[in-house]
Chain A
Amino acid sequence: MRRPWARAAAVQAACVAITLFMAVPMYLIALAALSSRESLNRFPLPLLPTDLSTETMSAFLRSTGVVPAFLNSLQVGLGTLVLSLLVGVPAGWALARYAFRGKEPYQLFLLLTRALPIVVLSVPLAKVFLTSGLYDTTYAVTLLHTALALPTTVLITAAVFVGVPRDQEEAAMIFGATPVQAFLRVVVPQALPGVAAAAMFAFVLSWNEVLGATILTLNQRTLPAQVLSTLSDSPLAYRFAGGLALVLPALLFIALMRRYLLNMWGATLR
């Protein structure tokens, strides 16, 4: 048997190594995007932030279509969040609290739709949207992203509602609460973090989705679609800046989620 401190040291070393693998690329893309053009042309590239400048980033932000694409991304993401919760939460509640005929087939249908690749939906949807006039609108992309997020929203919210003990709800009603009060005061507070996680999941899925957004739009690009479609004829500096612009929201999002992540994780270690 190894000594406890040796074991702890080995665990620390492994953790640090993995963290470096995860964090160094993020540091490097930030460094690249915040370097001046001139220092990006140098070789070897400086590895320390000695020559920071906002030149590359601001050139990216000033390029045609980037700011509108950013706004489109925001609009599509929020639309996806709202729509997937509106449609998904009731279904999640039904799955968690009712036994009904067709429940099994419905769940299988949900799982099956998760297996449908985005590309299978995008190509024919482009045709459908072209004939219905929705093509090249943010609504088209919102619908696609909601469809992609919905199965997961339903499954996450169902799991969340299952986790709220039925007994507590019933106890509240024994003490005189109406079903609505019991729902609002017992179920909602306990379910909120999980539902928030489902909401963020929908937003991030939409924010990150590239292929469908590119296929369904020409001018109303979302940010990833804009970056992808201009990828082949843009300089490296533009691509690095685009990379950082796409990574930064991820850092923000996980930081926002952190409370829930740590909560979930705290439950693991209990």
Chain B
Amino acid sequence: MTELADQPVLRERPDRPAPRRPARRVPTPVLLIAPSLIFMTALFVWPTVVAVGQAFTGDDGPTAAYVRRMVDDPSFWPAVRYTALLIVVLIPIQFAFALTMALLLRERPRFAGVYFYLWVVPLAISDLAAGLVWLSIFTDRGYLNSVLDHLGVAGYSWLQFDHPVTMFLAVMVAELWRATSLVLVIVVAGLQGIPKDYDEAAAVFGATYWQRLRHVLLPQLRPSLQVAVILRTILALQTFAVAQALTGRNLPLLVGETYRWYNALLNPNVAAALALVVLGVSLLAAAGYLRLLREHPEARG
């Protein structure tokens, strides 16, 4: 606001001399961002430094013992594998799903408002709640087996510890149900920014729906899609409570292991080491994000 006051041309106040910008003063924008900067340094940078200390210093100086203990744990590599698998399998399906939803809404069907409402409700549902919702479906005497029973098909122990495939599928369906709405909102917002002219021009010149989708819409949607991919990758890395609610510890994931080391095994040092692994991978994804922003500044947001 002060900046506006510094533009005397806009204000006809001949009785007052035009205010001049004082020579040395903390600029207003710096004052405005300072609280957030201090806050985030205190709660992001500092803990990260403490975490490095926790993971690499023992009672007598620097040590790699905690890292070794983390890697030697029999659950560590399965947790890495399942986390990676979840990201690789879930995210493409999720994006195809979200794009389909957004394109369906773009057709302006009747009841579109109701559909949109129901499709975005999971935005506000926590991962723990989603896990519990799907637990009522996948548990041994749950709704899925009840339906199968009504149909005369024998039930199946979807979440039993020696059925890793169905356990993984259950976690994936729950995550698909819960987290696709985030991608949907980003894609819908992205579509919002695309002028309809190109699409209409392509239609006038006889392009089919798929041609327009492939050559007009998707290229323009690319920045939003890339942002969504990176955000979802970082969030999918942190998948935890869904698996906890559905499978307990039977399907190990990286963050779940951190929680176990901290909470059940009472070893914050190994927990910190694991947290740093998650951080490392997230930073890789974030680096991709930053690089993308340099290429397409419009993708910010």
A50 near B: Cβ within 8 Å?
no
Which of B27-35, B86-94, B161-169, B211-219 lies on the face that meets chain A?
B27-35
Cβ B149 vs Cβ A120 within 8 A: no
Q: Report B139-159 CB contacts with A as 1/0, cut-off 8 Å.
A: 101110111011000000000
User: Which residues of the other chain, A, contact B137 by a CB distance below 8 angstroms?
Assistant: 25, 28
Partner of B268, one of A7, A88, A126, A159: A126
Partner of B32, one of A90, A144, A146, A228: A90
A253 near B: Cβ within 8 Å?
yes
Cβ B27 vs Cβ A124 within 8 A: no
Cβ A112 vs Cβ B29 within 8 A: no
10 other contacts beyond A123-B271, A126-B268, with CB at 8 A cut-off?
A43-B149, A87-B36, A90-B36, A91-B32, A106-B37, A123-B54, A208-B124, A236-B139, A250-B123, A251-B124
A133 smallest CB distance to B (angstroms): 16
Partner of B109, one of A8, A106, A232: A8
* CB-based nearest B residue for A155: B301
* CB-based nearest A residue for B191: A268
Query: What number of B residues sit within 8 Å (CB to CB) of A?
Result: 105
Cβ B188 vs Cβ A268 within 8 A: yes
User: Which residues of the other chain, A, contact B150 by a CB distance below 8 angstroms?
Assistant: 44, 47
Cβ A242 vs Cβ B132 within 8 A: yes
* CB-based nearest B residue for A129: B47
* CB-based nearest A residue for B36: A91
Give the contacts of B51-71 with A (CB-CB under 8 A).
51, 53-54
Known: A18-B101, A94-B28, A208-B126. A265 touches B188 (CB 8 A): yes
User: Which residues of the other chain, A, contact B35 by a CB distance below 8 angstroms?
Assistant: 86-87, 90-91
Cβ B146 vs Cβ A112 within 8 A: no
Known: A91-B35, A106-B33, A239-B135. A120 touches B279 (CB 8 A): yes
* CB-based nearest B residue for A183: B1
Cα(A18)–Cα(B3), bound, Å: 50
* CB-based nearest B residue for A2: B209
Partner of A127, one of B54, B118, B119, B278: B54
Cβ B119 vs Cβ A88 within 8 A: no
* CB-based nearest B residue for A97: B3
Known: A154-B36, A268-B192, A269-B108. A115 touches B283 (CB 8 A): yes
Q: Report B16-50 CB contacts with A as 1/0, cut-off 8 Å.
A: 00000000000111101101110110011011101
Cβ B4 vs Cβ A211 within 8 A: no
- Please, could you name 18 A-B residue pairs with CB atoms under 8 Å apart, sorted by A? A7-B107, A11-B104, A25-B137, A28-B137, A28-B143, A32-B136, A43-B141, A111-B293, A111-B300, A121-B47, A124-B50, A128-B50, A208-B126, A210-B128, A211-B240, A211-B255, A224-B129, A240-B132
Which of A63-71, A188-196, A254-262 lies on the face that meets chain B?
A254-262
Known: A29-B133, A119-B258. A210 touches B293 (CB 8 A): no
Partner of A120, one of B48, B134, B231, B285: B48
What is the total of A-B residue contacts with beta carbons within 8 Å?
313
A262 smallest CB distance to B (angstroms): 6
A209 near B: Cβ within 8 Å?
yes
User: Which residues of the other chain, A, contact B104 by a CB distance below 8 angstroms?
Assistant: 11, 14-15, 18
Known: A43-B149, A87-B35, A117-B238. A14 touches B43 (CB 8 A): no
Cα(A93)–Cα(B4), bound, Å: 13
* CB-based nearest B residue for A256: B124
Cβ B123 vs Cβ A254 within 8 A: yes
B227 smallest CB distance to A (angstroms): 10
Partner of B177, one of A21, A122, A232, A240: A21
Cβ B33 vs Cβ A90 within 8 A: yes
Known: A214-B259, A227-B128. A14 touches B100 (CB 8 A): yes
User: Which residues of the other chain, B, contact A150 by a CB distance below 8 angstroms?
Assistant: 36, 39-40
Cα(A268)–Cα(B275), bound, Å: 39
